[in-house]
Chain A
Amino acid sequence: MNPVLLSNQKLLPTALAAAVAAVLATTPIMAQAEGKLSIYHWFEYIPQTLLDKFSSEYGVEVTMDTYDSNESLLASLKAGKLGSYDVAVPGDYMVQIMAEGGLLDTVAEGELANAANIEEQWLNVPFDNGRKYSIPYQWGSTSFSVNRDVYQGDISSTDILFDPPAELAGKINMLDSQGEVMVLASLHLGMEQCSQDREKLKELDALLQGAKQHWASFGSDIAKDVLVSGDAAAGMIYNGFSAKAREEGANLEYAYPDEGYVVWMDNVVLLKDAPNRDNAIKFMDFLLEPENIAAVTNFAQYSAGVTGVAEFLDPALASSPEANPPTGPAGSFVAVCDQATQEVYDQLWTRLRK
């Protein structure tokens, strides 16, 4: 089968011996080490330097895996990864879904020394009233950005995504995030989320089917790169991610469309069966310290939900167009639908990708 593979009789024992030695040498890696923290996090969101800082301050070995949508976080945990991670960073609606699904551990009153730092407005949130499971991480918005070298017209409407001008048609990247795509499409049609109105749902289906031809690709983690590299001329994107794309040289404008946009808050949660619960609590406390969470804000260009961050923030952020929504259009959180309704939306999504 592989004629290139050869024949030498002395090589084999030597190779095997070396291989066995190498494998034996690795066994310590597999052994249980004290002081670990296993994080399940969004991609390209937290600076490595901050993880290193936590690591050296607490003498904890930090490992991090990444996911690219709330839904894939949930799916991975359900498919057997629960019990291997300590903390994760789900968005608002996903905190509620995970809590209801029994995937989260509660943080007891008084366990977090810095709990008082949480901003008032983020304390009693609908998705986690009283902050039993989560602490605020970052919040921001999701709409879209347009490359101004390609298209100079008006971008204050979701038409850019669903009925784009000729310059942008076929050059649009959509986030691979069912919840957010559905909300933007619903806003475009002026229908409410989790609608059970059949006519409206059919309209939504038709909208997505019709808009698909204008979209070049689906992907969340690729969202910045396709705009920077020019593979896409417009793209659905998170506000901070768009700011980063702009900094990398793309002439991008982030839109706050009149129809509305998605607002979200990512939250650090304590996962059920966390192997290193104590370290997870330490990490959550660490992220409630203004200086530390400000480092995340400076890196990812979203906004923190902790008091006292202002003095640690990069001054440029204050004037960043992505971080300062205009007054007028309002943002909406993704709503959690009941099973029957959600299944219709799931079907719309599959039909979109067929």
Chain B
Amino acid sequence: MAFLGQEEQLREFQDRFKFLYAALFIGLGILLVRLVDLQVLRGDRMRQFSEENRIKRVKIASPRGMIFDRNRKLLIDNHPAFDLEVIPQYLRESKRTDSVIRMISELLKMPESDLRRTLEKARGQPSFIPVKVKTDLTRDEVAVIESWKIAMPGVQIAEEIKRTNIYGDIGAHLLGYIGEVNSVELPLLNKTGQNQYKLGDSVGKFGLEQRMENTLRGADGEKLVEVDALGRTKLDKRAGRMLDGLPEKTPVPGKNIVLSIDQDLQQAAVEAFGEKVGSLVAIDPRNGEILAMVSRPSFDPTAFSRGIPAELWGKLLSNESKPLGDKTIQDHYPPGSTFKVVTAIAGLEEGVIDENTRVHCSGKIAMGNRSYHCHNKKGHGDVNVVSALTQSCDIFFYRVAQRLKSVNDIAKWATHMGLGRRTGVNLAREVPGLIPTEEWKLKRFKQPWNAGETLSVAIGQSYVLVTALQLANLYASIGNGGTLYQPHMLRSIESTDGQVEQEISGEVADRADLSPKTRDLIMQGLWGVVNAPGGTAASQRLPGMDFVGKTGTVQVIRIAEDKIYQKCDGMKFRDRHHGVFAGFAPAKNPVIAIAVIAEHACSGSRGAAPIARAVVKKYLEKYFPDIYGEKAIAARLKAQNGAPTSLAESPEEINLDTYGDELPVVGPAEVTDGTAPPKNSNEPADTRKQEDH
């Protein structure tokens, strides 16, 4: 190995510098080429990317329309709600995740593990997107968070509009709730709806919120804002200038809806129901407007409007009484004795019975090799159509059934009066109920109709099924003389500033032309049920108000013959009879028709009628104080010398004389002490204790 002097070595080194210059030019040349590539060749695209980065389209939510009751009482409103949000990126950058979480947990009294779980779940999304860790902060919680905010980087409070059902669970099924559009609904909504939706938008999911979606929902506006990498909006003037000329969209607010529902009645109904399970529908027989519609038990839709808490959802789903279902239209029941009016109408109108037809009730009749029982073991003795309705004598209606050509005669009148078909009310998932015909049975079971079944149908059992809404509408149409309205609950649609844009009036769906005589007889029977001492709901009389109707008690399970007369109260709750009541008031020119189904309440008179009574009383007192106010009634009763009935006041409308002597007009004293029993001597003295059918 030779050793070179410095001079030689330097010279050798200097020779190599040409490579260094070359390397320098090549290196910087590569950079130059990349610059050309990015800035010149792909500059346009990159510029576009940077614009997309900085400009965010921010939705300006359009306020959803409000819902009012018939007296403009606000039922559904939009309230501001406060949520606690955490921006994970800030939290991480501040390196104080633990202390911040501990702090939130202490301030809001919520477990740290919940917070961590929520944040953990949000890991998949970009860390600059805020994560909701608690919704619906109270004012106090907002205040406490705001005052400690400085010590909690990445923690913020977001304000959102929350749909609020002001009366909580009252009318929940009717009003419904909204929820976020999910990925399953999205394509369907955008195909059928007139509005365009995005994931996360609110959409009506149940009740009127769902049915009136297109009316209630306005169109969201859009605003362009310049944001930084953390999504924070820049508010300085420069940002405004940079966005000049970019399009914006102003939001169009949704329309308000005024319902025919009366919130006071709703409230009265809910109070009358108490812990009972079931449903109530009240209709104005003059136009088909629904005045009250409740299903119990219920739920509070407000809790649903911003995501349903899983725990609450689970509880509602597992509740045996099914609070989520609307029992007024989504469930149907055998109407029991409330159906007897239809049998009576069929019998009278088809000419197989008249006011003079008398039937002897000994407690049971035989047909084929079966015996058919009356609910009254001892029998009712001689009954006509009026007393049969009043006392709910089953035997009379069995006889009517036997005299009719076929079950189709009953079905014809039932259908005319709105049973067995959807009413077309503006709510989803209405069931049609069922009115059996011979053809139906053949088609359904491939079996011919059995004459004995007509007997069951005649007393509202067998295959007959009705909804509470149908039942109320049936009695409304009986009350108004045979006009069947399509029940509806919308009165008007208004703009946000209160301009009426559309008024909705009742539509006639069908007409059952009842002869005046038939109407009178039915009316007498229904009057007796509530107002005569032998009536099955005599205890529910409303003095001076002419409240009439029919009770029904429906067996839930098949009961062995020897146990038919067993006390209902002794049975398991789920096995107890349903109580049904349907009626209207006043008897002459009724202004309210009502139906109540009280599940497992054992009897119509004690389980359902009191609820109907409370609502009818409330309605008449509220809307007709001059006639039905306490003072007016007291004055009228005094003038009538203690006579309890307004039927006496209007002899030109309903002539009591034509009712026959089976239905004497009795004073209150006679009702209470039972000293004036009806002529049918085998009637028990205290009819109120009797199970009605």
* Same complex: no
Q: Which residues of B contact A (CB under 8 A)?
A: none
Q: Which residues of A contact B (CB under 8 A)?
A: none
